[in-house]
Amino acid sequence: MAKLKSSLLLLMAMVVASMEFEGSTAREYFVGESKGWTVPQNPGFYVRWSLFHIFKINDVLVFNFTNGVYNVAEVTQEAYTNCDGQNPISLQTTSPARFTITNAANHYYICTIGQNCMHSQKLAIKVSTADNNSSAMSLH
């Protein structure tokens, strides 16, 4: 009986450890997937793309784009709303651009070239602290 209890405790510990390990693994997300980071034909493209993902701290957003045609800037919510790329938090001009999520705040990304942001080349995400929370933000 003691051996059975020890085996059950060991099994439970292994299950809990594997659940914690799986939940803490950082993931890479390729923004826009095969379409990449571009001016979308459909204005809601990046909003819908974010609906299918749960972003967490230490995850990495990878933006693939054509150098010289596009860029990606992390900006404040106000800059996102106004498509204002004058004072970005971070600006990357070379693809692939990688942004590691370092906190559970909302994050906002735009293209600062021409009118691209005004044509919906922008992404807003909410970082989740739980597996069942949505990470999409319906800001336009």
Structure tokens at 113: 């070239």
Which of the two residues, 68 and 20, has the higher pLDDT score? Answer: 68
Predicted confidence at residue 120, as pLDDT, reads 98
Domain at 49, CATH number: 2.60.40.420
Domain assignment present for 14: no
Question: What pLDDT does residue 33 have?
Answer: 95
Label residue 57 exposed, middle or buried (CB < 10 Å: 0-12, 13-18, 19+).
middle
Write the burial class of residue 117 (CB in 10 Å: 0-12 exposed, 13-18 middle, 19+ buried): buried
Q: Is residue 135 part of a domain?
A: no
pLDDT category of residue 19 using cuts at 50, 70 and 90: very low
From CA 70, how far away is CA 93, in angstroms rounded?
Answer: 7
Mean per-residue pLDDT, 60-70? 97
Q: Tell me what the pLDDT averaged over the chain comes to.
A: 84
| Nearest to 77, CA basis, from 118, 100, 109 | 109
- Mean pLDDT confidence for 38-60: 95
Per the domain annotation, does 35 fall within a domain? yes
The answer to the question of residue 1 being in a domain is no
For residue 126, CA distances in Å to 5, 12, 37, 81, 113 come to 43, 33, 19, 15, 24
The answer to whether residue 138 scores a pLDDT higher than 70 is no
The total domain count for the chain is 1
Average pLDDT rounded to a whole number, residues 27-43: 96
pLDDT in tens, 79-121: 999 999 999 999 999 999 999 999 999 999 999 999 999 999 9
- What is the rounded CA–CA span in Å between residue 30 and residue 62? 5
Instruction: Decide if 49 is inside a domain.
Output: yes
Residue 47 lies in a domain: yes
Does a structural domain hold residue 15? no
**Quick one: pLDDT at residue 129?**
81
Range of the domain at 64: 26-126
The answer to the question of residue 9 being in a domain is: no
